[in-house]
Structure 1
Amino acid sequence: MTDVRPIRQKLHRIRSGAKAPRVLDLFAGCGGFSLGFKRAGYDIAAAVEFDANAAQSHGDNFHIGEWQHAIARDITCTPPTKLAEELRMGDVSLAVDVLIGGPPCQAFARVGRSKLREIAEHPEAFRHDSRARLYIEYLRYVEAFAPLAVVMENVPDMLNHGGHNLAEEIAEVLEAKGYVCTYSLFNAAFYGVPQMRERMLLVAVHREVASDVALPAPTHWIELPQGYVGSRAVALKLLAAKTAGGGRHHYVDAPLPTPDLKGAITTREAIEDLPAIDALTLLKEGVLRRGRKAFDVAVPYNPATQSNYVNTMRSWPGYEGKSAVYDHVIRYLPRDYQIFAGLQPGDQYPEAHKYALKLFDERLAALASKSAKIEEDTEEWHALRASIVPPYDAGKFPNKWRKMEADQPARTLLAHLGKDGYSHIHYDSSQARPISVREAARLQSFPDGFSFAGTMNPAFRQIGNAVPPLLAWRVADTLRQQLTASMSDQDVSAFPIRSRLAT
């Protein structure tokens, strides 16, 4: 059980109105989670991030001029006391009020309930199981910093990762440390993000703070495509089996939107004001070339009518946009721009491959009409085909490409944007291109004044890895209501949902 003395001292500090709640962001990335909490009135005290570009972005956006905050840190080599010393945070147990973050889940499919319980009782046990290292380090930070609340974000598969519910096991460990804990599945589109991004959020508050956990109510409505519904069902499969067997768990259904809410923010609403980039014309003129894409070139906004969402992105407090866009750059994909132009919204790689074959046949026919026929299966024929048709098997890579629909939120942005942009092809066929860095940021709900360190590829990766700031803001705002209200003032019926051990 966590020592309640620092808990009570920090709670008094917040509820007396003296200071804003302080946040420590672990596995922080560039700072999507931090940005949402800052918008809700929290103080971003510190962060731990392993990737150098992402750490630089976090430092640049939250601790301008404080170089020590922009240093990349490996959490496995940075125990809590070392971080507090390096950043001059003072007494570790009193340094922060809320701990947030999203530990990578890929390597921890089989940590095991017994192992996590062992960790809770014996903090050094992580040395015997490297697979559990990052989640265990996260829990060690909880133990050391004694936060009033913990918020963890991850993919839905965390509930069913190789037949293993890691979220439940972490909830049990936190409960043993004195926290009330709930986890659920959220879709970012329900909270004003122009992206159908499904995520697991685990929220825990110390029992000294509240007896229940409040989760944010949706602000927008959309009927999700069947693929998202199916993925959610897979994630919840273990819970259904456990409940059927009489088991208990900490999962609760998040509040669902109703059709009377505002419609979800569409891709068009999110990016229409950004300058058009006619890829085919720029390629022909030699403007688009291979090589590093600078972020310091100013491009004026499109004077199109601004949506409410655009106004939010341009006027976010502390991160207001300037008179022009500086990171509106795209990938150099000379073979594929012409294919992008011929796709219909919603088309994926099979349609793209079919259209590319059509373009190839048309090129062969045009050459034949000019008495320049190329014989099939010759070296020249294969070279021409390779210059037009992508090499991927349409049956093996059906989701590799996708042309966005203008009047729907975008599909989930992934860190893989750092390697290619085919998953998010611009809906405007006249532009015939993948989305730009700034368009990806808009779809993830980063305001225009938020900057990304590094070049194009690292920026895409940071954006794809981030927690959408608008979703983080809604979670942070609901949590702050609990942190600042006295126990007697809390009316749990006013909150959309409460934590419970489901049966």
Structure 2
Amino acid sequence: MTYKIIDLFAGPGGLGEGFAAYKDKDRARFEIVLSAEMEAGAHQTLTLRSFFRHIRGDQKALNAYYRFCSMEGAPHPGELFPLAWHAARSEAHQLTLGNPEHNKVLEALLDKAKLKDDETVLIGGPPCQAYSLVGRSRNMGKMDYVAEDDHRHFLYREYLRILHLTKPAVFVMENVKGILSSRVGGKLVIHDILRDLTDPGQALGQTSGARYTIHSLVSRVKFVPGDDPSKVDAKSFIIEAEKFGIPQARHRVILLGVREDINYDGQWLLEESGELRVIDAIGDLPPLRSKLSRGDSDSAWSDTVIALAQALHVDAAKKNMSILALELKAGALSLGKAIETGALRYRFPKNNGGLTKFDNWVRDPQLEVWLNHESRSHMPSDLARYFYTAVFGQVYKRTPKGHQDFPLTGLAPDHANWESGKFIDRFRVQRFDAPSSTVTSHIAKDGHYFIHPDPGQCRSLTVREAARLQTFPDNYFFQGNRTQQYHQVGNAVPSLLANKIAHVVHKILTERSRAPSAG
């Protein structure tokens, strides 16, 4: 049995990738029949990945895919293999859910697919800007902001509508942890969401149809139709990704809905595994130097960053910060060794028998170059802060917090709130010896929260490094401009975590026993 997947608010496809890649007895058990995403760059990524899945068994087509990824100016593989490209475009659609015309298109596509409810799984999660703590903070600063009028609070109802329409056996819905404390009209949004998801038809003001029990993936907690949501510990639905073999402290609410007629009591949960650190995820990527925002060249970069590092070393020594001064000097000596800025040859371990599960998930021996692994350009003032922050992390085993941890001359940014206590970790190093902090869409704006732990590279993370922390395979080629690529990666569900969720869903679907029918 191959179960059919509908992926809504798909982004670049992290959640769908995990399901599509899931195998049992060496056979794929899930097939994405329809995915919907509104952003153009993410839709391009989604479509190209769908194409990649369609050509898996055709080495000639795969060679064309790898050439396209590796060589600028290589023909698009979809031009060379139009049938597979047509299949990919028939699966991945650029649609804005909530737009009446796009809703009609989606409904027509679903009708055409003729899905059987017992063989269908709905996945995805509505956009999270309205629920995230940072997003809510920004909204509070808008004088005319009214939460009840923010359509983003209710995009989950589009998910709800498709849930009612298709009546899948199982659904998986993901969102930020902030959804647990988000309120509209004085009421907790999560309570309404839990209540609505158990009976989508009734919530939409239509005839009650398929009903669902909402399960946690990490505990035996569940919410059944008719329950009082205030009596359920909603925190039980939080998945702490770092406990499940993901090199990132990403905490997200993931709701597992199982149709009421399927007799499932929550006996299958995600299995915890050993912690992965940043070095385990990105330590094998080739080093890169940062770029200068103006007048970039190897010599200009070396002259600039070495001068900045030496000035910080001298200042630290004058202020009797001896340990920090020594490490700043050592860091200055390592500058200039990582002189490339991108387009490096892909290296696959010769002795691949000792690869970890993570390595086997992300690595691809057919790749020729590292994809999406190019450094950003930064202003000299930020390079000084990045270099200092990386050295600080090595010395104190933490990221600097607040202005008091930036005592050296020239490090204070020109921000009115620098000494106010807000954004005390405005500059955050991702330490090699621990999981990273949550990769978010903010990485698209600047690299301040995502500083590479190696002072010698003096930069923020590349798209590929962020993608590794999100457990995207190395052959996942992100489309659009680099800002769009960062945004796609930051908003995605880690694909390896999704694969583990797919295992639980597959167990439910294959080992289920039907509840006795009425009468």
TM-score computed with the length of structure 1 as normaliser: 0.67
1: CA distance, partners of 2:48 / 2:467: 16
Q: Which runs of 5+ in 2 are unaligned?
A: 23-28, 53-84, 133-148, 200-209, 217-236, 305-340
1: CA distance, partners of 2:434 / 2:402: 21
Is residue 2:278 matched to residue 1:272? Answer: no
Instruction: Give, in angstroms, the shift of residue 179 of structure 1.
Output: 1.3
Question: What count of residue pairs does the alignment treat as equivalent?
Answer: 375
Partner AA of 1:156 in structure 2: K
Partner AA of 1:103 in structure 2: P
Query: Residue 205 of structure 1: SS of its match in structure 2?
Result: strand
| Aligned residue runs from structure 1 range 34-73, under 5 A | 34-40=16-22, 41-63=29-51, 65-66=85-86, 67-73=89-95
Partner AA of 2:438 in structure 1: T
Is residue 2:435 matched to residue 1:447? Answer: no
1:330 to 375, 397, 420: 375
Query: Residue 458 of structure 2: SS of its match in structure 1?
Result: coil
Instruction: Give, in angstroms, the shift of residue 140 of structure 1.
Output: 0.6
Deviations 1:449-494 (A, max 9, x none): 11111121111110000011111111111111110114179xxxxx
2: CA distance, partners of 1:406 / 1:130: 40
| Aligned residue runs from structure 1 range 20-419, under 5 A | 20-40=2-22, 41-63=29-51, 65-66=85-86, 67-77=89-99, 82-86=105-109, 89-91=112-114, 97-107=120-130, 130=151, 133-162=154-183, 164-176=187-199, 177-183=210-216, 184-220=237-273, 262=274, 264-279=275-290, 284-285=298-299, 297-301=343-347, 308=356, 311-315=359-363, 322-335=367-380, 336-343=382-389, 344-345=392-393, 346-348=398-400, 350=402, 354=406, 357-358=408-409, 360=410, 389-392=412-415, 393-394=418-419, 395-419=421-445
2: CA distance, partners of 1:287 / 1:108: 41
Instruction: Give, in angstroms, the shift of residue 304 of structure 1.
Output: 11
Match of 1:422 in 2: 448
2: CA distance, partners of 1:175 / 1:50: 27
Q: Which runs of 5+ in 1 are unaligned?
A: 1-16, 110-127, 221-261, 290-294, 361-387, 490-503
2: CA distance, partners of 1:280 / 1:81: 46
Q: 1:89 to 1:298 in 2, by over 3 A?
A: farther
Is residue 2:503 matched to residue 1:474? Answer: no
TM-score computed with the length of structure 2 as normaliser: 0.65
Instruction: Give, in angstroms, the shift of residue 330 of structure 1.
Output: 2.0
Partner AA of 2:289 in structure 1: D
- Moved >6 Å (runs of 4+): 302-306
Deviations 1:422-462 (A, max 9, x none): 11111111111111111000001111011111121111110
8 Å contact kept, 1:179–1:207: yes
Q: 1:154 to 1:50 in 2, by over 3 A?
A: same
2: CA distance, partners of 1:461 / 1:131: 18
Deviations 1:241-283 (A, max 9, x none): xxxxxxxxxxxxxxxxxxxxx3x00000111110001337975
- Identity, in percent, stands at 29
